[in-house]
Amino acid sequence: MLQSLKNLAGVAVEGSDGAIGRIVDLYFDDQAWTIRFLLVETGDWLKGRKVLISPMATGEPDRGRGLLPVSVTREQVSKSPDIDIHKPVSRQHETENYAYYGYPGHWGGTGIWGKGLAPRMTVAGGTLVPEAAPQEDEVAQAQADALRQRGDDPHLRSARAMIRYHLRANDGEIGHVDGMIIDDETWALRYFIVNTSDWWIGHQVLVAPSWIDDISWLDAAVSVDLSREAIKRAPPYDADAPPDREQERRIHEHYARPGYWSERA
C-alpha cells in the first residue's frame, strides 16, 4: 500500500518482545529509489538512542493502530552497531548492520532487494522471519562484495533532509519537494510530492523518481525531465488519501510515461 512519508513518521515499531521506538526518518537509495533503512528513535528504554532497522525485518503494518512489527528483539537492537546520524550512511555501515542481523546484501542482484522485489517476511513460531532465509555462503558472499565496495558512495539519503528541496523543470523552477510516497510492501519510493505554490498559486502534484535527471545535494535542488506546464496541469495530489492504481494511471498517462507496474508484466 502507498503511504506518505508524513504518515510513516512517528509510527510505532514493535519488536518480537516489546516496543522498540518510533520512526523518525527513512534512508533511501537514490539509484534504486528504495528505502534501505528506517531510522528509529528508541525512547527512554535505550536512552533515546537512534538505530537503523532494515525493511527486511518488517512485517505487515497494523495501520489501524499505527504499528509496524519487526523481527528483531530489544536486546538485538540494544547491541546493534552505532550510527552517526550526522554523517552519510556508508557501505561499511550497511555491511555491519546486515552482518549483525544476518541479512543477505541487496547489492549485486537483479531485483531492488537483491533476488527479489520485496523484503518478504513470514511468521514462524511467533517471530517474523525471512521467507527464504539466506544460506551462510550467501551471507558471506554478500559481505565480501560489500567490503570490496566499502569506499563507494552507497547513495543513501535522508528522506527528511530532502523536504523543501527546489524542483527544477526542464524550463525553469516549478516548486519544492513537500514529501514522498512510499510503498510499504516493497519499500520502493514511488513519488515525490511537489508543491507548486512557489511558482504560481498552485497545488501539490506527484513526480516519479524515474523522471529525475539529477539531484544536486549542494544546491538542494532536484531536476526533472518535465516542463513546467506539464507539472502545472498534472492531476492534483490529495494529501488525505494515498493514490490508488487508477489515479496512478492518470498521472502516468498525463506525462506520457509508462507505469512502474508495467515493468513486472
CATH architecture, domain 2-158: Alpha-Beta Complex (3.90)
- pTM of the prediction? 0.84
- Largest interatomic CA distance in the chain: 57
Domain boundaries, the chain: 2-158, 163-264
Cβ 24 vs Cβ 9: under 8 Å = yes
**Superfamily of chain region 163-264:** Photosynthetic Reaction Center, subunit H, domain 2 (3.90.50.10)
Top-confidence residue, 156 or 247: 247
Question: Residue 33: exposed, middle, or buried by beta-carbon count in 10 A (0-12, 13-18, 19+)?
Answer: buried
User: Residue 54 belongs to what H/E stretch?
Assistant: none
**Mean pLDDT across 7-32:** 94
Q: Averaged over 98-123, what is the pLDDT?
A: 69
pLDDT tens per residue across span 149-198 = 454 555 788 999 999 999 999 999 999 999 999 999 899 999 999 999 87
* pLDDT recorded at residue 42: 95
Q: Exposed e or buried b for every residue in 148-169, given b needs 16+ CB within 10 A? A: ebeeeebbbbebeebeebbbbb
List all residues 6 or more positions away from 220 whose beta carbon is below 8 Å from its beta carbon. 164, 165, 166
How far apart (Å, rounded) are the C-alpha atoms in residues 171 and 224?
10
Judged against a pLDDT cut of 50, whether residue 243 lies above it is answered with yes
Higher-confidence residue of 143 and 71: namely 71
pLDDT at res. 93: 81
Query: Does the fold of domain 163-264 match that of domain 2-158?
Result: yes
Cα torsion angle, 127, 128, 133, 136, sign: negative
